[in-house]
Structure formats: structure tokens, C-alpha cells
Structure 1
Amino acid sequence: IAARLLRGAGSPTARLYLVRTLLGRLRVGASEATVLAALGRARLALELRLPIGDAPEPRAAREAELRVRTAFRRLPNLPLLCDALLADGLESLDERTQPRHAVPVQPMLHSAVASVDEALVRLKGAAARSEFKYDGERVQLHVRRRRADGADAHAGV
């Protein structure tokens, strides 16, 4: 199919855009960060019922952008993220964008602390899991198992 499309492209420029489109590297200036920021701001403006063209308060806009970026790191799938934003908005975004089977989460940066005590203070009593930091490659393995009753049991490893 791709070969037929390339042969049918009328000019070198058309072939270039076709190849970039197929490779997902169109380079139209809309980076992932730009798209996520725009989604956060747009949903916030919708929730605040702002007139078209009015911008939300900068602090609230940054918070909305952060929520959307964090949700996208857990569930890096734009259609699913947009569905969650349209369904319930920013408030329930954390609930609707939990990791799912066969959708890898994106790496997240850590926040450095000086001691275990400082880490516990930052957690504010929340449950957490930690691991040693190893340099090198990591793999996410998604396993689908059948339970004794025949239902699927998903496990991310």
C-alpha cells in the first residue's frame, strides 16, 4: 500500500509529507507538550464556562496542564485521554486514566530527597512502593492470565 501511495504521489514534496506522515514525524510544530497543555487549558476553560478567546487564570491553567501531563504519563493514549477529559473533566481525570493492560506507562521523573524521613513526610501517610534505582534498560511486561473461573486477570510486571 505504501509503495502504491509513494508512486502515486505527484511531487517530491508530496512524497516527503507522505513518508513523514507514515512515520509519525510530520513536524508541523505541535509537540506533545503543546498538545497536552492545550488540552488542559481547553478543558479548564470549558469547566469555567469562559467565553471563547478568554484565557483562564495562569495558576489554574498550569494546574490543569500538570493534571493532563500526569494523566498522559500514566495512560499515554491521546484518544483515551480525550475521552476521559470529555466525560468527566479534570476532577476525575486521575480515576479515569489509571494504567491499563497493554498500554505502557511513560517514565516519570522522581523528586530527590535527602533522607527516608523526608520522603515519608512528602508522602503524607499515603501508601507507596519504592525500588532501587538501576541505570540501564527497563522493560514493562503485561501479562494476561485466566483465573480458575475463566475470567481474565491482568497483571503488569
Structure 2
Amino acid sequence: MIERCENKNNPNYPKYGAKGISVCDSWRISFDNFKNWAVDNGYDDSLTIDRIDSLKGYCPTNCRWITLSENSARANIGIVKNKSKLKNMYAVNETHGRIDITNIKSFCMEYGLNYSMVVSALHGRCKYKASGWMFFSNVNDNC
């Protein structure tokens, strides 16, 4: 955590330190302070640290423990296989109204929809209206 935020030679520095992400003084100067926070906040070997607001640094009020798959999903919000980013994604359904989509995979799992078809619809490549859903993004007006 400290390495990627402070060491310019660290391969992850461009994603963290170069973007202004830092580690709070309390954790940086004392591993025991970090360890105590970690234990008090549910640390487990199966979890990874997550910054709640990805624009802010590592500190007690901005960090939590989540699974690696949850962390990966958060890091990939809106990213599809071709690495393009969709923005302002949402779906509309008579039953549910407007639902903002922050994670396509999670949205599909929650509503039982086909991931590939939803991604295609958000990109405007198809007209997928499964179960009465209509999909919108910065790429399309209405699929």
C-alpha cells in the first residue's frame, strides 16, 4: 500500500501515488495503528483492502475489507472486454422503473439477464429488450 503510493519505481505508482493517492500519517508511521484498525474492522486473510472513494487515499474513514471479487468488480465498473468505458448506464423496466447500472455483471446477476446481450445493448449493437428492459448509456440513446 505504501509502496504503490510513495515509491515512484513501483509499477503501480502511476495508478496510485502519481494520482495523488496517499496513506494517512497514522498508518504510514505505525504498522500497529494500521493493524489495530484492520482487526477492529473485520480483517480476514480472505479479504482485501478497498478504498470506498477511489479518489481519496488510504485512511480509516475511507477503507474497508471486501472480497477480491468485489474489489475487482468495483475496479471494473463499466469496463467491458474491449476496454471501452460505458458511462451513464441505466435500464428501464415497468416493474422496477429506472435502475442505474454501476456494475454490469452484478446488474445481470441480480435481474437474471444475459451479460453479453446487456453489454451489446449498452453499446448500441443490438435491441435487447428482455423481460421488458430497455438499456441506455452514453453510447446509445435507446436499444
Q: Work out whether the TM-score is over 0.5.
A: no
TM-score range, shorter chain: under 0.3
- Structure whose residues are more often helix by fraction: 1
TM-score, length-normalised on structure 2? 0.24
TM-score, length-normalised on structure 1? 0.23
Largest Rg, 1 or 2: 1
